[in-house]
Structure 1
């Protein structure tokens, strides 16, 4: 198997795992704050074990500045998870996931506002196309407050993800696995006051789903993603990233019977195509930020 084929298999597997994340969240039966707290806890154990086994704690490359940036990025990434998981409750996994994939456009806009990067005519055009797709895929009327709140939460999650990406993009000389580890470790004290341990005590089988989120969706998934990024060209990374929302929509339909209506479905290709065009204009590291992950940047970003 060639290096690129191996990278394709690794990234496809990671994106398929990403697509099942919503199922684990819902089946755990825990509140979004509890889900994220225990995802951080179990994820830190999984990533920590991997990093120690590889001997990467020696010569880690962190300086006080880059460590502070990793912690700051972690704060935004963990609350991005909270908002996304709340969006699952208010709408559906399918709708929240599609809307969440407006992340690249927030990153472009933040780059223009914060970093004074110039917006090209093509970027503005794709932003307009994505907005049109968002209007279509929302499929709600102004009186449908539940769905509107879910859409707002998914957009807020995407914004927080983009901010985390922008922060972590400034970290250089540190392995992405180490940045991810610092970010989930930062989430533990941040969410500790917000976690409801009394409710967590009665989860029963929900603990297995929470452990899966940490070990599978935070440990294994990111190891696969970061290994794949080193082997693949930008265009292939951008294309394979959309395995995630596709699997999420199929899983939501298969398990919960949720599906996007005909009018909403018209908006999906607009968002996907526009996001793909924006992603392919970035470096492979920046493209990585369009996937769902805890460490937005070491490689660029997530």
Structure 2
């Protein structure tokens, strides 16, 4: 067990748990916020990369660079979709749906790697989706307009893109963590520049800019360096368990600071989702040690 990697991932997830709180105080839409995050992270990680001299010893492999760039596309889409979800629904609800990602990683393994999926895993997947419907509310599925305005679709897309990011990044080993995230945030800048409305930056307060820079330097640069540096040294099961630090922090902040008060049905949905995910990542490990 790589203790240092576990600590890095735990710290990264704890910090990332506050991203929803920061996002709603930036005062700008999802696309523009992700664009600024990518600029801040590129400068931060590029500077760190130069300071530690990593650029001198970096070994470039065409196949791994292609994977890194593809991973960058999914990473940026994951951010945009998650922030769009924050605009439409409570942070707690969005984060709960977002953390369906481990289930999607499992499904990707079945589809792309021909891994076998047990009956328990299939049942857990079904229960997760039932839980996600409960926390959004059955009434929001009565018509397409209600569904579209609920933010469910954005949160679900963010989970899928996050799963693809984790799935692909686990196959990248020759690119340093600095170079990996640096290249991915460059991809974000190029992707989002044509879609940015720069008028949204007019009239922002100092507080808005502090939250914006915080999401860029801390939540993007620092956190994603820790994230990608740690997951390559940890098993998928350990990564899947430690990412639970993120929603725990997010939900606590939402309840304690933003006064979110979930209904009994929403609490049941949250418990169904996280209970099923814990079963999915823990039960196979338990069985393998019998």
| Contact in 2 for aligned 1:98/1:245 (Cα 8 Å) | yes
Q: C-alpha separation between the residues in 2 aligned to 1:169 and 1:43?
A: 21
| Contact in 1 for aligned 2:169/2:228 (Cα 8 Å) | no
Pairing partner for 1:250 from 240, 249, 252: 252
How many Å apart are 1:233 and its aligned residue?
Answer: 7.0
Please report the TM-score for the alignment, with normalisation by the length of structure 1.
0.82
Matches within 5 A, 1:25-64: 25-64=23-62
Matches within 5 A, 1:14-33: 14-33=12-31
| Contact in 1 for aligned 2:181/2:225 (Cα 8 Å) | no
Q: Which residue of 2 aligns with 1:287?
A: none
Q: C-alpha separation between the residues in 2 aligned to 1:97 and 1:122?
A: 24
CA distance 1:237–1:160, change in 2 (3 Å): closer
Q: C-alpha separation between the residues in 1 aligned to 2:108 and 2:201?
A: 37
How many Å apart are 1:255 and its aligned residue?
Answer: 2.9
Aligned length: 281
Q: C-alpha separation between the residues in 1 aligned to 2:269 and 2:42?
A: 37
How many Å apart are 1:231 and its aligned residue?
Answer: 7.6
Q: Which residue of 2 aligns with 1:292?
A: none
Q: Which residue of 2 aligns with 1:160?
A: 161
Q: Which residue of 1 aligns with 2:82?
A: 84
Q: Deviations over 1:23-62 (max 9, x none)?
A: 1111000010100000111011112222222222123232
Structure with the largest fraction of helix = 2
* 1:194 maps to 2:195: yes
SS in 2 for 1:270: helix
| Contact in 1 for aligned 2:136/2:150 (Cα 8 Å) | no
How many Å apart are 1:97 and its aligned residue?
Answer: 0.4
SS in 2 for 1:137: helix
SS in 2 for 1:58: helix
Q: C-alpha separation between the residues in 1 aligned to 2:142 and 2:257?
A: 28
How many Å apart are 1:214 and its aligned residue?
Answer: 1.3
CA distance 1:40–1:281, change in 2 (3 Å): farther
Q: Which residue of 1 aligns with 2:279?
A: 277
* 1:122 maps to 2:123: no
How many Å apart are 1:259 and its aligned residue?
Answer: 2.8
Please report the TM-score for the alignment, with normalisation by the length of structure 2.
0.86
Q: C-alpha separation between the residues in 2 aligned to 1:68 and 1:201?
A: 37
Stretch deviating more after TM superposition (222-231 or 253-262)? 222-231
Q: Unaligned stretches of 5+ in structure 2?
A: 286-290
Q: C-alpha separation between the residues in 1 aligned to 2:159 and 2:111?
A: 17
Q: Deviations over 1:68-89 (max 9, x none)?
A: 2211211121111111101011
Stretch deviating more after TM superposition (226-235 or 138-147)? 226-235
| Contact in 2 for aligned 1:238/1:280 (Cα 8 Å) | no
How many Å apart are 1:226 and its aligned residue?
Answer: 4.9
How many Å apart are 1:143 and its aligned residue?
Answer: 4.5
Q: Deviations over 1:206-243 (max 9, x none)?
A: 22211111111112223444565578776654443212
CA RMSD of aligned residues (A): 2.7
